[in-house]
Amino acid sequence: MVSADIPAAPASRQATCLNCHAPLTGPFCAECGQRDIPPYPSVRELAVDAFAEVSGWDGRFATTIRTLVRRPGRLTREFLEGRRARYISPLRLYLIASLVYFLLAATAPDVRLDDGRTMFLGLRVTPNISVDSTPSRAQRVGTAAANSFDARQPLQQAARDSILAEIARAPAFMQPFLRRSITDPAGFRRGILEALPRMLFALLPVFAVIVALFYRGRKYPEHLYFAIHLHVFVFLALSLTELSKFTAKPPLVAVVAAISLLGIPVYATLAFRGNYGGSLLMNLTKEIAIGAIYLATCAVAFITMIYWVSLLG
Ligand SMILES: [Zn+2]
Pair 187, 313: CB distance under 8 Å: yes
Strand pairing report for 119-120 and 124-125: antiparallel
Q: Does residue 183 have a pLDDT over 70?
A: yes
**pTM of the predicted structure, to 2 decimals:** 0.75
Q: For residue 32, how far is its CA from the centre of ligand 1 (angstroms)? A: 4
| Spacing, Cα 26 to ligand 1 middle (Å) | 11
Q: Give the distance (Å) from ligand 1 centre to CA of residue 155.
A: 64
C-alpha distances (whole Å) from 137 to each of 140, 142, 160 are 5, 8, 14
Q: Give the residue, 112 or 140, on which the prediction is more confident.
A: 140
Name which residue leads in pLDDT, 96 or 27: 96
Element (H, E) at 283: helix 280-312
Contact yes or no for 225/80 (Cβ under 8 A) = yes
Cα(15) to centroid(ligand 1), Å: 11
When mean pLDDT is compared over 24-28, 80-84, 203-207, the highest value belongs to 203-207
What's the pLDDT at 262?
Answer: 93
CA of 283 to the centre of ligand 1 (A): 47
Distance from Cα 154 to the centre of ligand 1, integer Å: 61
Alpha carbon of 35 to ligand 1 centroid (Å)? 8
Q: What is the pLDDT of residue 298?
A: 94
Number of helices (H) and strands (E), helices first, in the chain?
12, 2
pLDDT digits (tens, 9 = 90+) for 124-175: 444 444 444 545 777 777 777 777 777 777 777 777 888 888 888 888 888 8
Average pLDDT, the chain: 83
Q: How far is the CA of 241 from the centre of ligand 1 (A)?
A: 46
Interval between CA 38 and ligand 1 midpoint (Å): 13
Of the listed ranges 37-41, 198-202, 209-213, the least confidently predicted one is 37-41
Q: How far apart, in Å, are the Cα atoms of 136 and each of 101, 146, 195? A: 38, 15, 32
205: CA distance to ligand 1 center in Å? 35
**Alpha-carbon distance 223 to 242, whole Å?**
28
- Which H or E run contains 120? strand 119-120
